Amino acid sequence: MDENERLFQLFQRAITEYELNNIPIRNLKNKKKIGEGGFSKVYICNIDGDSRMVAVKEIYVGDENSEASIKSFLNELKLHCKAKNHRIIELFGVGYDEKEVSCYLVMELAECNLRKHLTDKKDELKWDKKIELAIQLTEGLSYIHNVMNVLHRDLVLD
Ligand SMILES: Nc1ncnc2c1ncn2[C@@H]1O[C@H](COP(=O)(O)OP(=O)(O)OP(=O)(O)O)[C@@H](O)[C@H]1O
């Protein structure tokens, strides 16, 4: 069995195990890159027939580093599936792009990142609003730590 077949099997197993929606690549329209992480590229796009914009985190799995990418992808997938809280980005589904040899997560779009918000509104944000934001952030973290029993370890503002 080659690497891609192995990946596909792991991926299929995860879809069944976590009862995920499979969102085919042909349904993702108007993709535009908005960010990049250690393993992934992040796009904004919309799902065919739905005007709502979503974020797509795509992980390329077609080279010799794919083992690490697959592990990272499946781990993130598992954590996302466990996380059911209004302070945490919702996972809508997943997909596999055979042509690009990549896997992707389709999730709720964060309209603005916190760093940009705090910078843009520096002069107008009142302390009560800042405290409210800090409370929202700690509610999300508290859920991850105390309910999911997972340490975040990579909290960044954007
Ligand atoms: N759901 C989302 N909505 C809007 N933007 C997002 C979303 N997810 C990620 N991004 C953007 O894409 C960038 C990269 O996201 P990613 O999750 O890959 O970051 P990372 O945690 O640094 O990467 P890695 O998990 O590979 O270490 C983020 O900094 C953010 O700007």
Q: Does the CB atom of residue 114 touch ligand 1 within 6 A?
A: no
What is the percent of the chain with per-residue pLDDT over 90, rounded to a whole number?
58
Q: Is 57 one of the annotated binding-site residues?
A: yes
Whether 154 is a known active-site residue: answer yes
- Poorest-pLDDT segment among 28-37, 46-55, 57-66, 104-113: 57-66
Q: H-helix or E-strand containing 10?
A: helix 3-17
Domains of the chain by start residue, with CATH: 3-110 (3.30.200.20), 111-158 (no CATH)
Of the candidates 105, 81, 111, the one whose C-alpha atom is nearest the C-alpha of residue 93 is: 105
| Cβ neighbours, 10 Å, residue 111 | 7
Q: Does the CB atom of residue 107 touch ligand 1 within 6 A?
A: yes
pLDDT for position 1? 63
pTM of the model as a whole: 0.89
Give me the mean pLDDT over the 101-127 stretch.
91
Answer for the pair 107, 55: CB distance below 8 angstroms, yes or no.
yes
Of the candidates 49, 71, 54, the one whose C-alpha atom is nearest the C-alpha of residue 108 is: 54
